[in-house]
């Protein structure tokens, strides 16, 4: 525990010292542009609550929700890494943490309440504070809101990574993507266009140990069956069989048959979409990893768009790498469309 707390303090200190957005104004209404750059490791949440509560059912509930392993991962990687401190330790350096959950018990109040602050001490930052008169009230309010809390923290992580990618993006990729598809995304340095077909584009960022890849496909919209996840899987397999070869003859990437896909209907950038997460492997070769995709309709052009991202990282953690892919997707925007022109 002492070592974990030391690492948290060191991380916050280094980020704070390296930030060019230091602020001498600590007032409540301070200028957002003068805030510190928030600290903390990727996918980390700082839990501020009394030691005795952290060790009992209140803490167990938080661990069982924020620290849960998502259904779409093959490795035992929790959704968030949790760091705990007592309230007495919650000083100036900890206040610059990116994701903070504060739990307080106060017998003088009648009802539990939850307050959310954004970018109070640093940026980007979400501070969620739950104050409750007793354990039962805490469990009630937390059970109703923990999915919302996770969504805040998740959006915060994506915003941080996306901001970095926008500042370091390969603009030639955005230009070619816009010319081809009339939309763009911010791809950071290291990515290049590995294949560019009529309605298909494959982008890669390979290193000696890790590869990040994105597949983009556009095709005419037919009907609502285009959102069926089985149809999306079949389409993905046909694309990867044609364009994404494996390391040996006749091998190719495909959706794994060993893990059930996770899918749901969502709104992606204002468009109705199917989100699909699962694992890929290679036909005829022992290789695999996670992937995620969004399939949605562009009503202006009456076409379906599929953006798909995968990770290849043998013996490496995959959670944070998949966040990189999702952060790229979060920068998606239409460009040369009548709707975009009207907004301008």
Per-residue pLDDT of the chain (344 residues; tens, 9 = 90+): 444 444 444 444 433 433 333 333 333 444 555 778 888 999 999 999 999 999 999 999 999 999 988 776 767 788 999 999 999 999 988 999 999 999 999 999 999 999 999 999 999 999 999 999 999 999 999 999 999 999 999 999 999 999 999 999 999 999 999 999 999 999 999 999 999 999 999 999 999 999 999 999 999 999 999 999 999 999 999 999 999 999 999 999 999 998 889 999 999 999 999 999 999 999 989 899 999 999 999 999 999 999 999 999 998 889 999 999 999 999 999 996 544 434 43
Query: Is there a contact between 82 and 59 (Cβ–Cβ < 8 Å)?
Result: no
- Give the model's pLDDT for residue 31: 55
The 10 Å Cβ neighbour count of residue 279 is 20
- Give the model's pLDDT for residue 5: 46
- Give the model's pLDDT for residue 24: 34
Q: Measured between alpha carbons, how far is 165 from 329 in angstroms, rounded to an integer?
A: 11
Domain spans in the chain, listed from the N-terminal domain onward? 2-165, 170-343
Structure tokens at 219: 């095709």
- Give the model's pLDDT for residue 214: 98
- Give the model's pLDDT for residue 237: 97
Number of H helices, E strands in the chain: 8, 17
- Give the model's pLDDT for residue 300: 92
Which is the CATH superfamily of the domain at 170-343?
Mog1/PsbP, alpha/beta/alpha sandwich (3.40.1000.10)
- Give the model's pLDDT for residue 32: 55
- Give the model's pLDDT for residue 7: 43
Partner residues linked to 308 by β-bridges:
215, 293
Residue 92 preceded by cis peptide, ω within 30: no
């Amino acid at each position: 525990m002492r070592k974990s707390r030391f690492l948290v303090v060191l991380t916050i200190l280094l980020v704070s010292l390296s930030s060019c957005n230091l602020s001498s104004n600590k007032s409540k209404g301070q200028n957002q542009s003068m805030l510190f750059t928030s600290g903390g490791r990727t996918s980390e949440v700082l839990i501020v609550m009394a030691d005795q509560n952290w060790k009992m059912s209140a803490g167990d509930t938080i661990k069982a929700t924020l620290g849960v392993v998502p259904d779409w991962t093959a490795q035992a990687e929790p959704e968030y890494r949790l760091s705990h401190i007592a309230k007495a330790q919650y000083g100036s350096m900890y206040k610059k943490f990116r994701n903070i959950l504060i739990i307080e018990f106060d017998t003088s109040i009648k009802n539990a309440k939850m307050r959310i602050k954004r970018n109070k001490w640093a940026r980007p930052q979400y501070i969620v504070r739950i104050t409750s008169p007793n354990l039962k009230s805490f469990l009630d309010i937390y059970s109703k809101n923990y999915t919302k809390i996770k969504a805040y923290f998740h959006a915060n992580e994506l915003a941080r990574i996306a901001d970095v990618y926008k500042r370091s993006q390969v603009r030639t990729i955005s230009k070619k993507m816009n010319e081809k598809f009339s939309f763009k995304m911010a791809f950071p340095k290291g990515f290049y266009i590995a294949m560019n077909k009529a309605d298909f584009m494959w982008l890669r960022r390979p290193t000696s140990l890790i590869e990040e890849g994105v597949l983009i496909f556009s095709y005419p919209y037919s009907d609502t069956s285009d959102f069926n996840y089985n149809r999306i899987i079949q389409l993905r397999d046909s694309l990867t069989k044609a364009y994404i070869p494996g390391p040996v003859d006749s091998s190719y990437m495909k959706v794994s048959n060993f893990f059930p896909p996770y899918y749901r209907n969502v709104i992606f950038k204002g468009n109705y979409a199917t989100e699909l997460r699962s694992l890929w492997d290679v036909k005829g070769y022992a290789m695999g990893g996670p992937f995620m995709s969004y399939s949605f309709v562009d009503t202006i052009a009456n076409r379906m768009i599929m953006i798909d991202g995968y990770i290849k990282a043998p013996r490496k953690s995959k959670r944070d790498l998949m966040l990189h892919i999702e952060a790229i997707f979060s920068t998606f925007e239409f460009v040369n469309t009548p709707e975009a022109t009207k907004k301008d």
